[in-house]
Amino acid sequence: MEDVQAGADDRELPIDLVGVSGLRYPITVRDKARRRQMTIAEMSLSVSLPQDFKGTHMSRFIEVVHERRDQVDMETLPAIVHALRERLEAERARVEMRFPYFIEREAPASRLVSLMSYDCRFMAEVAGAGDDFLVGVKVPVSTLCPCSKAISDYGAHNQRGYVDIAVRAERAASGLPRMVWIEELAAAGERAGSAPVFPLLKREDERELTMRAYDNPAFVEDVVRRVVVDLRQDSRIAWLEVRAETMESIHDHNAFARIVWRRPKEAAGGTGQ
């Protein structure tokens, strides 16, 4: 059959990235506590296209995902991207995926256990001789306003917010990114708020968290700074971006803060936590 995509194009315009988006596919992600966790990812897969090619072969993107769906993490995703580049004979390849990830949480007073959902993402790209990998986690938290606490005779306004953390890891001797667990990033985000958020709470838990938040007020500026101070001590992390946003309870707008940090080159390496 005629291969139209492989035909020539005379417009002399290379395409930076072309591929498929909105692809939902079951994958298995490494779980720190239970080794493996099945989830469903929404993916975008793309490659560069030289100026003399008319189109790319869309079916090959799905073939690569299907062949490697059984384990997706910081150590295996680079291989998936390299396979994508080789299969489609491209100079550059990129994979982005977003997926829910569940972590077992124990309520602070009742000790009841439930599953908390976190929005996570992976991004991997290879271009030329270099490659890149990023892992991100969106962490729900509760914050209590320090200003409100300071000026009020009693009480203080609080709100639910999110801490969005993305990191790039240092390289191991193998050349692959060093493993940074989703659970570790989620824990760092929760430590930065006034109090963590739980899916299942009894009255004694609500009391505990309300008082904990009151004793630990935090602006969004405090939240992002706390995360960076926490994670920059981990020698596995080469770069991180932290963005906190709170859905204000007494304002008709949200508040946010963002920090991008990268490890100085002379400080790279060392042992991980």
Read off the pLDDT of residues 63-79 as tens digits, 9 standing for 90 and up.
988 888 887 877 778 88
Does 47 score more than 50 pLDDT?
yes
pLDDT tens-digit profile of 91-113? 899 999 999 999 999 999 999 99
Region 235-246: what's the mean pLDDT? 96
Task: Judge whether 1 lies within some domain.
Answer: no
Q: Which residue has the higher pLDDT, 226 or 266?
A: 226
Task: Judge whether 245 lies within some domain.
Answer: yes
Task: Judge whether 10 lies within some domain.
Answer: no
Task: Judge whether 8 lies within some domain.
Answer: no
Number of domains in the chain: 1
Who contacts 21 (Cβ-Cβ below 8 Å, separation ≥6)? Answer: 43, 44, 45, 46
Q: What percent of the chain has pLDDT over 90?
A: 64
> What's residue 138's pLDDT?
98
Residue 133 structural domain: 15-267
pLDDT band at residue 273 under the 50/70/90 scheme: very low
Q: What is the rounded average pLDDT for all residues in the chain?
A: 89
> What's residue 55's pLDDT?
65
Task: Judge whether 51 lies within some domain.
Answer: yes
Region 224-238: what's the mean pLDDT? 96
Task: Judge whether 3 lies within some domain.
Answer: no
Task: Judge whether 272 lies within some domain.
Answer: no
Region 233-244: what's the mean pLDDT? 96
Spatial separation of the C-alpha atoms in residues 93 and 44, rounded to whole Å: 11
Task: Judge whether 193 lies within some domain.
Answer: yes
- Domain CATH for 147: 3.10.270.10
Spatial separation of the C-alpha atoms in residues 6 and 9, rounded to whole Å: 9
Nearest-CA neighbor of 138 among 103, 189, 179, 88?
189
> What's residue 233's pLDDT?
95
